[in-house]
Structures are given as structure tokens and as C-alpha cells.
Amino acid sequence: MNIGLIIIGDEILSGKRQDKHLAKVIELLSARGLSLSWAKYLGDDRDQLTRELKTAFDSGELVFSCGGIGATPDDHTRQAAAAALGREMALHPEAAESIWQRVQQMATEQGTVAERDHPDTHRRMEMGVFPVGANVIPNPYNKIPGFSVGTVYFVPGFPVMAHPMIEWVLDQQHADLHRAVGLRERSMIVQGAMEASLTPLMVRIESEFPGIKVFSLPSVDHPTWGRHIELGVKGVTGTSDDALTAAYDALRQGVVQFGASIGTELVR
């Protein structure tokens, strides 16, 4: 199953706020032997969100969407999800109970009395209006839940809320996807060769070792290695450490035969 990430918010695209989701999601996935297949940054545009979310729902992939599930005028994710699914929206009973608990907690902290019919309570309840048939994602930070439909999961834009919620999804809903974390990537620093010249070697390694991906990361101004290429192999699902080692050894031999210089070797 491919895993995707959608990060929503005009504030990200304008630079008012720096994204903190991409690196963290990669970290959370890696700790479970998983990897991110793709990521997208989207603004607060309901039509665009609807199109992109329809693609996510139709894909059957595991997708996390961060941001835009609040109840202010610039939050469109809940409505876009419903439109993408062709469903009505309704207050989710479990979400309503969690939000009411939060309202009561806030009232206690402020020394006031919680009122179900207060306009502020009604506005907070809007955050529990999801596409019909959605499931809730618990929010350990402030009880305002996210929601999911199929394998598309919607969490707030606040990292302090979103990241524990994503962890919950991975561990409680998709523990079957977890893999043992072992030797997954080996690479070398190559100097004295151009990327284009090494491309035939990379193609040959991938053809000879099914399940292995070859990667090439050129750099022109590294403070230690100067102009170089980080050239390596990584395993995909089901790849054994032995297969990865054999592919790496073949790649290394090919670089030596080409006549390039090999510096530092890396294992991740």
C-alpha cells in the first residue's frame, strides 16, 4: 500500500508558517519500517481540495491529510471531503461527545458553567460535522477529533495534535503494515564520475536485482566531499539484507571498474 501525505494551508504556501509535518511523518513511518510514497502541499481552495481528495479516496492508498478541519471560514477540508465522496455532512455523535467534554473542561478551568445551547458551543460542535459514514480519530491533546473515511485520515494542522493522531492511526488501524526495521539502504560517495556516465550501471543493477532500487544524489559544493555523487541501493518491501548487500557489492564493483574514486560508504 502506498502512503501519501497532503498538507493544507495558505500559510504554508505563503511562508507565514514552516511545514513541520513532512519530516515528522517520514520519521513516524520509518520507525515502523514504512516509507512515504508521495506528498502534496495544497492551499485553502475548496474546489482544488475536492479534486485532490477525490483522487485520494479513489486510489485506495493510505493517505494522511493535515489541516483545514476547523470551523472558521478558511477551513474547507471537511466540506471538500464530503463533496469528493458525494455525501451529506452530519454531526458525528462520538465527535459531539468529545467536543462537549472539551467544552466542560474549559468551563471548569475558567470557573464558569458549560452550556450546551451557548453560541460558542454550537460553533465548536461544527468541528464534529463530518461526511456521513466517517469514523473519528481521537485527539489526545484537546479532545477535538479528526475523522477518516476508508484509508484517508484527516487530522488538524497543529503538529502537537496531528502527530500523535497519525501515530494512533498507524498503530491502531494499520499495525498489519508494520515491518521489522533492518538494513534498508547502502551507499557510497563517488568522485571522478558524471551521473550520466553511471546511468547504464544503475539500470543494470536494477534489472539484475529485482526488488532493489538504485538512487543517485549529485552535489556540486559539499563542504567535505566537494563535487560528488552519493550512489547507492535501497530495498523495497520484502527485500532481504542479503539481496541488498549483493546489489551493493555489484554496484561498487561497477564503479571501481569505471575508474571512479570511492570515498565514504554509508549504511542506513
Q: Where are the beta strands (DSSP E) in 75-173?
A: 89-91, 129-131, 135-137, 146-149, 152-155
How far apart are alpha carbons 136 and 155 in whole angstroms? 10
Please identify, among 161, 177, 193, the residue that sits at the C-terminal boundary of a domain: 177
Q: Are 218 and 120 within one domain?
A: no
| Domain termination site, one of 177, 203, 220 | 177
Tracing cell 465548536 back to the chain, one arrives at: 124
Q: Are residues 77 and 200 in the same domain?
A: no
Among residues 177, 210, 230, the one where a domain terminates is: 177
Q: What is the pLDDT of residue 222?
A: 87
Is the domain of 173 the same as that of 191? no
Q: Is the Cβ–Cβ distance between 186 and 266 less than 8 Å?
A: yes
146 lies in the same domain as 191: no
Angle, CA of 12, 153 and 140, to the nearest 5°: 85
**Residues 226 and 159 both lie in one domain:** no
According to the model, what pLDDT value does residue 238 have?
A: 63
Note the pTM of the prediction, 2 decimals. Answer: 0.84
Are residue 55 and residue 72 in the same domain, yes or no? yes
Same domain, 83 and 199: no
Beta sheet of 212-222, edge-to-edge order:
212-222, 226-235, 185-191, 261-267
The pLDDT of residue 268: 72
Q: Are residues 159 and 255 in the same domain?
A: no
Nearest to 107 by CA among 96, 120, 95: 120
Q: Residue 261: give its domain's CATH number.
A: 3.30.70.1320
Cβ burial 96-130 (10 Å sphere, 16+ → b, else e): bebbbebbeeeeeeeeeebeeeeeebeebbebbbb
Can you give the pLDDT of all 268 residues of the chain as single tens digits?
Answer: 899 999 999 999 999 999 999 999 999 999 998 999 999 999 999 999 999 999 999 999 999 999 999 999 999 999 999 999 999 999 999 999 999 999 999 999 999 999 999 999 999 999 999 999 999 999 999 999 999 999 999 999 999 999 999 999 999 999 999 987 655 789 999 999 999 999 999 999 999 999 899 999 999 888 888 899 999 999 865 677 888 999 999 999 999 999 999 989 887 7
pLDDT of 266:
82
Asked if 164 and 220 sit in the same domain, the reply is: no
Same domain, 20 and 59: yes
Domain interval for residue 193: 185-267
Pair 149, 199 in one domain: no
- Work out how many domains the chain is built from and give that number: 2
Residue in this structure with the C-alpha cell 547502502, named with its chain if needed: 186
CATH number (domain holding residue 27):
3.40.980.10
Strands 146-149 and 135-137: antiparallel
- Taking alpha carbons only, the member of 1, 93, 10, 92 closest to residue 46 is 10
